[in-house]
């Protein structure tokens, strides 16, 4: 069996070993005991308070042993499948990332191929050659970078920042670059990176190789979700047979929605508490241990492989501003949950209809997960493209689509999102730390008059996207279905 983790370079500061040591201990013992924290603090020459500060920031690390041996998923689609939004016990997981198999219990599994409901170039059968890497090599570094920029490829992690612009900014620093491959995928309801890694790992690895050819990074690190063993094993197998070989470290995480913010992820890699950094400087200027750092998502790397193999084909899908496809993770009240690879710009209604809604009332959608918002049946004709889909909060984000029954599911679903955001707030800034639990309390009590003002404070006073977008599900639910909170 593959090791599923590969160490960071030995010349990295010793504190960078902290996350790996915590992860190993959690896997071995099932929790982080005080004696272990003391020992690891001595070994890594850190104050023990810093060890606890990091250890207690990850959702999957426990400071007490787990009681019982079954972990149940508390994600929205699993709660819908159970037919109850009861308070979940402490051993519940925020998401087991098997929303296509709701209600999920236990651990992760390799993504099942039949759950690819619609495949495009990303989810097509995996590649067996290195034609696309060879195409980049034939162009040379500068021309290959120009090709990335001119293709119009945008990152697929949720922010859709132009890839060529990000890479140029890092290269302009004229210092050794760190390349970080984001396979953390910690948003409840999203499983598309797991699908890619399970079914097309060589496409992902070729994308990493193309990036490595252009950026010539001093270090390549894959930050992989701590639960995603089958997907990571598949990646390791693809790395093992890659030609030429890539020197890649694999670091496993401990969960946490805030790790979707790239500077929080870099802090985690450095063995610090995983909280977002104040910007500027941006990671491309000063990221992992001060190196110019490029962070891109798994799906972005897979797109690189597609793009270099078929530039005209890449641009014929999607829109002129956002070419290509997007893998959606569709779940909830549908007969055909799973991964749908669609051209950017396709209407949400078409996706919902393909997935076979199974609702008693009207269809509603949660788009963009806990940072997104709800859409009513009358607003499903929006094209799925980067940015806001509706002013109250719905957005494409990482491509999580949960189909709901309206109005029956709306109150519980909005409360579930509000509670999730409150629990996942890292606590660094006051509007988010104090505001998100208050938002949940007001909604739960039906005391909606003060919500708009509070939502504005959270949105505009928070440091990172988690706080800034947290009011979306609440605001959109109140906008479309005010009666359900009376």
Residues that bind ligand SF4 (CB under 6 A): 258, 275-276, 425-429, 432-433, 462-464, 466-467
Nearest distance in Å: CB 477, ligand SF4: 20
Nearest distance in Å: CB 460, ligand SF4: 11
Nearest distance in Å: CB 432, ligand SF4: 3
CB atoms within 10 A of CB 171: 19
Distance CA 305, CA 134 (A): 11
Nearest distance in Å: CB 369, ligand SF4: 15
The radius of gyration computed from the CA coordinates of the chain, to the nearest angstrom, equals 21
- Dihedral sign for Cα 156, 160, 165, 166, please: negative
Nearer to ligand SF4, 268 or 363 (CB): 268
Nearer to ligand SF4, 323 or 397 (CB): 397
Nearest distance in Å: CB 430, ligand SF4: 8
The residues, ordered by sequence, that sit 6+ positions from 158 with a Cβ below 8 Å of its Cβ are 260, 297, 396, 397, 398
Nearer to ligand SF4, 190 or 375 (CB): 190
Nearest distance in Å: CB 273, ligand SF4: 10
Residue with tokens 């809604």: 357
Do 201 and 126 touch, CB atoms closer than 8 A? Answer: yes
Distance CA 438, CA 21 (A): 35
Nearest distance in Å: CB 57, ligand SF4: 10
Give the strand order in the sheet containing 362-367: 116-118, 338-343, 325-332, 400-406, 362-367, 373-375
Closest CB to ligand SF4 belongs to which residue?
467
Nearer to ligand SF4, 318 or 467 (CB): 467
Nearer to ligand SF4, 392 or 462 (CB): 462
Nearest distance in Å: CB 442, ligand SF4: 18
Nearer to ligand SF4, 258 or 294 (CB): 258
Nearest distance in Å: CB 472, ligand SF4: 13
Distance CA 476, CA 411 (A): 11
What distances in angstroms separate CA 203 from CA 29, 110, 199, 301, 305, one per listed residue?
35, 17, 9, 8, 6
User: DSSP labels for 182-249?
Assistant: EE---STT--HHHHHHHH-HHHHHHHHHHHHHHH--SEEEEEE-TT-HHHHHHHHHHHHT-SS---EE
Nearer to ligand SF4, 379 or 428 (CB): 428
Nearest distance in Å: CB 433, ligand SF4: 5
Nearer to ligand SF4, 422 or 478 (CB): 422
Distance CA 351, CA 354 (A): 5
Nearer to ligand SF4, 189 or 435 (CB): 435
Do 309 and 128 touch, CB atoms closer than 8 A? Answer: no
The enclosing H or E element of 373 equals strand 373-375
Q: Are strands 373-375 and 362-367 parallel, antiparallel or unpaired?
A: antiparallel
Distance CA 477, CA 483 (A): 10
Q: Are strands 219-224 and 178-183 parallel, antiparallel or unpaired?
A: parallel
Nearer to ligand SF4, 389 or 432 (CB): 432
């Amino acid at each position: 069996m593959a090791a599923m983790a590969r160490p960071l370079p030995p010349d990295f500061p010793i504190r960078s070993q902290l996350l790996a040591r915590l992860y190993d201990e959690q896997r071995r013992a099932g929790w982080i005991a005080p004696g272990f924290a003391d020992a690891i603090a001595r070994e890594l020459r850190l104050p023990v308070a810093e060890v606890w500060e990091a250890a207690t920031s990850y959702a999957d690390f426990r400071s007490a042993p787990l009681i019982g041996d079954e972990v149940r998923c508390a994600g929205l689609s699993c709660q819908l499948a159970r037919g109850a939004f009861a308070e979940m016990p402490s051993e519940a997981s925020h998401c087991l990332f098997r929303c296509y198999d709701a209600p999920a219990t236990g651990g992760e599994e390799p993504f099942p191929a039949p759950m690819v409901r619609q495949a495009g170039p990303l989810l097509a059968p995996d590649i067996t050659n290195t034609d696309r890497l060879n195409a980049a090599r034939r162009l040379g570094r500068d021309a290959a970078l120009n090709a990335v920029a001119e293709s119009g490829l945008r990152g697929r992690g949720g922010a859709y920042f132009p890839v060529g612009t990000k890479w140029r900014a890092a290269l302009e620093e004229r210092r050794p670059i760190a390349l970080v491959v984001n396979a953390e995928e910690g948003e409840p309801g999203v499983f598309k990176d797991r699908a890619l890694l399970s079914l097309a790992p060589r496409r992902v690895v070729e994308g990493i190789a193309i990036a490595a050819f252009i950026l010539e990074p001093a270090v390549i690190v894959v930050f992989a979700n701590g639960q995603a063993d089958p997907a990571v094993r598949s990646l390791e197998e693809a790395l093992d047979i890659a030609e030429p070989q890539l020197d890649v470290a694999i670091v496993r995480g401990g969960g946490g929605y805030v790790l979707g913010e790239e500077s929080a992820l870099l802090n985690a890699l450095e063995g610090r508490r995983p909280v977002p950094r104040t910007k500027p400087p941006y990671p491309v200027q000063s990221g992992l241990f001060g190196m110019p750092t490029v962070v891109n998502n798994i799906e972005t790397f897979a797109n690189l492989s597609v793009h270099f193999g078929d530039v005209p084909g890449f641009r014929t899908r999607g829109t002129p501003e956002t070419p290509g496809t997007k893998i959606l993770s569709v779940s909830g009240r549908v007969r055909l949950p799973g991964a749908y690879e669609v051209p950017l710009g396709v209407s949400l209604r078409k996706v919902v209809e393909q997935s076979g809604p199974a609702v008693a009332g009207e269809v509603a959608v949660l788009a963009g997960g806990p940072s997104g918002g709800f859409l009513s049946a009358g607003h499903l004709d929006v094209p799925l493209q980067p940015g806001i889909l509706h002013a109250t909060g719905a957005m494409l984000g990482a491509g999580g689509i949960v189909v709901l029954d309206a109005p029956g599911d709306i109150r519980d679903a909005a409360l579930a999102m509000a509670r999730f955001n409150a629990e996942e707030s890292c606590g660094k800034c006051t509007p988010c730390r104090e505001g998100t639990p208050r938002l949940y309390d007001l909604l739960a009590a039906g005391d909606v008059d003060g919500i708009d003002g509070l939502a504005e404070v959270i949105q505009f006073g928070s440091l990172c996207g988690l706080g800034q977008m947290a009011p979306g599900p609440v605001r959109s639910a109140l906008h479309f279905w005010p009666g359900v909170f009376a």
